[in-house]
């Protein structure tokens, strides 16, 4: 049976998520940026992950995650997101405060711990950022969702997730009053810079840049 270290789990999760985002092979530099380590360290790690056959690694041509690798990555992601739910729902963490702690908790090794946590939380399907929680077999049920900037004028929907989970972005959303579950309607799209005005819960209007809008995901 393959065993992964904490560092290997972190890299593999990053590789999985980068490959989901981009579809094609993931580059050393992308991983380096995501992991905040130097490209040289990434090359080292890719060799090791290749040997463990959780990625397919061709020098100079980026990596692809294997089926086996996906299973490991999804297991880590499941743990991360369950712990995020725990921190928010049970320990009253804000959604911008969970990243660091969940990034440690996700490495605790215990199958029963995760099963029990899942049960204790009521088998949540989504984490505090709207991201789907894989089940124990690695199945992810993802909802169809669109960034706000791709919604037509007068189109309506419900905020279901954020693409960027950085503390800075999340705190900004808190400040302007955008949150998961909010019902929105697109009131105006400025041709010039793509900025957008939305109505939240039929009460409040929010102006946002195209950049912000692109990071808020809505179910129509």
Partner DNA sequence: TTAGTGATTTAGGTATATCTAAATAAATAT
Partner DNA sequence: ATATTTATTTAGATATACCTAAATCACTAA
Residues 171-210 close enough to bind Mn ion by CB under 5 A = none
Contact between 89 and Mn ion by CB under 5 A: the answer reads no
Stretch that binds Mn ion, among 30-38, 103-111, 171-179, 211-219 (CB under 5 A): 103-111
Give residues 123-142 in contact with Mn ion (rule: CB under 5 A): 127, 129, 131
4 or 173: CB nearest DNA: 4
What is the rounded radius of gyration, in angstroms, for the C-alpha atoms of the chain?
Answer: 19
Q: Applying CB under 8 A, which residues contact a second copy?
A: 87, 90-93, 97, 100-101, 104-105, 107-110, 112-113, 116-117, 120
Q: Of a second copy, DNA, Mn ion, none, which one sits near residue 45, judging by CB under 5 to 8 A according to partner kind? A: DNA
Residue whose C-alpha is closest to residue 85's, from 65, 105, 110: 105
With b for 16 or more beta-carbon neighbours within 10 A and e for fewer, the 76-96 pattern comes to bbbbbbbbbbbbbeeeebebb
- Asked if 96 is part of the footprint of Mn ion (rule: CB under 5 A), the reply reads no
215 binds Mn ion (CB under 5 A): no
Q: Which stretch binds Mn ion (CB under 5 A): 3-11, 18-26, 28-36, 50-58?
A: 3-11
Pick 112 or 168: Cβ nearer a second copy: 112
Under a CB-based contact definition with an 8 Å cutoff, are residues 186 and 152 in contact?
Answer: yes
Choose the one of a second copy, DNA, Mn ion, none that binds residue 129, judging by a C-beta under 5 to 8 angstroms depending on kind.
Mn ion
Question: 111-120 and 67-85 are packed helices; what angle lies between their axes, rounded to 10 degrees?
Answer: 50
At 65, is the secondary structure helix, strand, or coil? strand
CB nearer to a second copy: give 104 or 211: 104
Closest Cα partner for 124 from 157, 78, 171, 193?
78
In this structure, what token pair is assigned to residue 185? 């309607």
Q: Nearest approach, Cβ of 55 to DNA (angstroms)?
A: 11
Q: What's the closest the beta carbon of residue 6 comes to a second copy, in angstroms?
A: 10
96 binding partner (options Mn ion, a second copy, DNA, none; Cβ < 5 to 8 Å by kind): none
Q: What is the DSSP string of 132-179?
A: B---TTS---PPP-EEGGGSPTT-EEEEEEES---HHHHHHHHHHT--
**Cβ neighbours of 190 (radius 10 Å):** 12
- Minimum CB separation from Mn ion for residue 160, in Å? 13
Distance CA(146)–CA(150), nearest Å, equals: 7
Binding site for Mn ion (CB under 5 A): 10, 84, 103, 127, 129, 131
């Amino acid at each position: 049976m393959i065993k992964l270290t904490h560092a290997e789990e972190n890299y593999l999760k990053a590789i999985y998520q980068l490959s989901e985002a981009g579809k094609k092979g993931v580059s050393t530099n992308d991983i380096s940026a995501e992991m905040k380590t130097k490209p040289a360290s990434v090359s080292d790690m890719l060799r090791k992950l290749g040997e463990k056959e959780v990625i397919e690694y061709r020098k100079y041509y980026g990596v692809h995650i294997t089926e086996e690798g996906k299973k490991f990555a999804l297991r880590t992601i499941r743990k991360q997101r369950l712990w995020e739910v725990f921190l928010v729902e049970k320990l009253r963490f804000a959604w911008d405060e969970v990243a660091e702690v969940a990034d440690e908790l996700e490495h605790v090794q215990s199958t029963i711990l995760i099963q029990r946590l899942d049960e204790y939380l009521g088998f949540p399907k989504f984490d505090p950022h709207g991201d789907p929680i894989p089940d124990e077999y690695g199945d992810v049920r993802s909802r169809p969702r669109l960034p706000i900037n791709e919604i037509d004028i007068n189109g309506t929907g419900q905020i279901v997730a954020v693409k960027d989970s950085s503390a800075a972005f999340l705190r900004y959303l808190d400040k302007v009053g955008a949150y998961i579950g909010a019902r929105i309607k697109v009131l105006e799209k400025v041709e010039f810079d793509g900025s957008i005005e939305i109505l939240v819960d039929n009460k409040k209007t929010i102006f946002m840049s195209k950049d912000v809008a692109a990071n808020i995901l809505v179910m129509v």
